Amino acid sequence: MTATIHQLGAARTPSLQPMLNLVAPEMNRVNAVILDRMQSEIPLIPELAGHLIAGGGKRMRPMLTLACARLLDYPGDRHHKLAAAVEFIHTATLLHDDVVDGSDMRRGKTAANLIFGNPAAVLVGDFLFSRSFELMVEDGSLKVLKILSNASAVIAEGEVNQLTAQRQISTSQEKYLDIIGSKTAALFAAACRIAAVVAERPEVDELALDAYGRNLGIAFQLVDDAIDYVSDGVTMGKDAGDDFRDGKVTLPVILAHSRGDVDEKHFWHNAMLGHRVSADDLAYATSLLRKYNAIDDTLERARHYGQRAIDALGPFPASAAKDALVEAVEFAIARAY
């Protein structure tokens, strides 16, 4: 008998479909909780929340909670409420992010803050965040509460850190990794880890799922940051070059800057300060990213973290759930191609 060796780079195009199929009936339950618990006597709250929540999105994080619970053969339903809580935290973060960034688009639609105004987006984000804690309290696990309240604080720290790094071309790759580890990977890690808590598995399983989620989250964000320079606005639901115009110093920029000559370094410096934001500037930036292999190398690093995510699943026996979790990693990376 030979073991299945899960490795990135399989011939066929990876898909999220196996994971979607695996959790479809349970995701309906989670969606019902989400719809039920975003209600309020104040009509603006479900209106605004619904714009974003009903407005698509892959429900990646709650899906991970469900798939990880399936990996552990958890037979209960506590994780439905908790998966909804995770999605509420994510939605609150998106609402506040759009206010912070002054975004025009989110998931291919006009961003909520542009339709409903920044004040409403801030306050409804606060409501969803509070509601997520109410859901956790109803579940009653202090361990889950600890994991998710910590993740929330880490996310906010990561967002503030990103804000202070914005327009700073001197941002190091290490700081960039810190930022995405906090703002993106912390919630991926928590979403996976809580499945082990509700399934009452030993800490070693908690940590394995935490590592799976964390590495997947980092890979996911690295790919997002690469795609931002190659997107056509339809696939991503946002325009190519958003990060460039916002002066977000992501890994592709850090690599091209650090490998560039004096003039090129000067260009990146000015571009991140917002002095080079025309279509021509973006085209030049893209040519520099190509010249220094910055997109490919960013994706190579994404594959590194993707492989770590897959290897973190090593302790768990083969199953359809495991295959789906592996393919989710492959899918996250293949999005860029």
Contact 101, 64 (CB under 8 A): no
- The only residue of 27, 30, 38, 45 in contact with a second copy, by rule CB under 8 A: 45
**Nearest CA to 68 among 217, 219, 209?**
209
Measured between its terminal Cα atoms, the distance across the chain in Å is: 34
Residue in this structure with the two tokens 């509700």, named with its chain if needed = 198
Which residue, 43 or 202, is less far from a second copy as judged by CB?
43
Q: Does 188 sit near a second copy (CB under 8 A)?
A: no
Residues 209-240: b if buried by 16+ CB within 10 A, e if exposed: bbbbbbbbbbbbbbbbbbbbbbbeeeebebeb
Which residue, 126 or 203, is less far from a second copy as judged by CB?
126
Write down the least CB distance from residue 88 to a second copy, Å.
11
Which residue, 128 or 328, is less far from a second copy as judged by CB?
128
Q: Does 106 sit near a second copy (CB under 8 A)?
A: no
Which residue, 59 or 96, is less far from a second copy as judged by CB?
96
A 10 A CB-CB count for 204 gives 9
Measured CA to CA in angstroms, residue 247 lies from 105, 250, 270, 285 at distances of 17, 9, 9, 12
- The only residue of 34, 52, 99, 208 in contact with a second copy, by rule CB under 8 A: 99
Tokens of 87: 């999605």
Write down the least CB distance from residue 164 to a second copy, Å.
5
DSSP string, 180-235: HIIIIIHHHHHHHHHHHHHTT--HHHHHHHHHHHHHHHHHHHHHHHHHTTT--SSS
- How far from the centroid of its chain's Cα atoms is residue 310's Cα? 17
Write down the least CB distance from residue 326 to a second copy, Å.
32
Q: Does 168 sit near a second copy (CB under 8 A)?
A: no
A 10 A CB-CB count for 145 gives 16
Query: CA 290 to CA 337: how far, in whole Å?
Result: 15
Q: Does 202 sit near a second copy (CB under 8 A)?
A: no
With CB under 8 A as the contact rule, which of the stretches 63-71, 99-107, 293-301, 318-326 interacts with a second copy? Answer: 99-107
Of residues 79-98, those binding a second copy (CB under 8 A): 92-93, 96
Size (the chain), residues:
337
Show Cβ contacts of residue 122 under 8 Å, excluding neighbours closer than 6 positions.
95, 96, 99
- The only residue of 10, 24, 32, 44 in contact with a second copy, by rule CB under 8 A: 44
Of residues 127-156, those binding a second copy (CB under 8 A): 127, 129-131, 133-134, 136-137, 140, 142, 145-146, 149-150, 152-153, 155-156
With CB under 8 A as the contact rule, which of the stretches 23-31, 66-74, 114-122, 199-207 interacts with a second copy? Answer: 114-122
Write down the least CB distance from residue 149 to a second copy, Å.
4
Q: Does 274 sit near a second copy (CB under 8 A)?
A: no
DSSP state of 49: H
Q: Does 172 sit near a second copy (CB under 8 A)?
A: no
Which residue, 127 or 292, is less far from a second copy as judged by CB?
127
At 106 the three-state DSSP class reads strand
Contact 197, 147 (CB under 8 A): yes
Which residue, 20 or 156, is less far from a second copy as judged by CB?
156
Q: Does 203 sit near a second copy (CB under 8 A)?
A: no
Which residue, 81 or 131, is less far from a second copy as judged by CB?
131
Q: Does 270 sit near a second copy (CB under 8 A)?
A: no
The site for a second copy (CB under 8 A) is made up of 40-45, 92-93, 96, 99-101, 118-120, 122-124, 126-127, 129-131, 133-134, 136-137, 140, 142, 145-146, 149-150, 152-153, 155-157, 159-161, 163-164
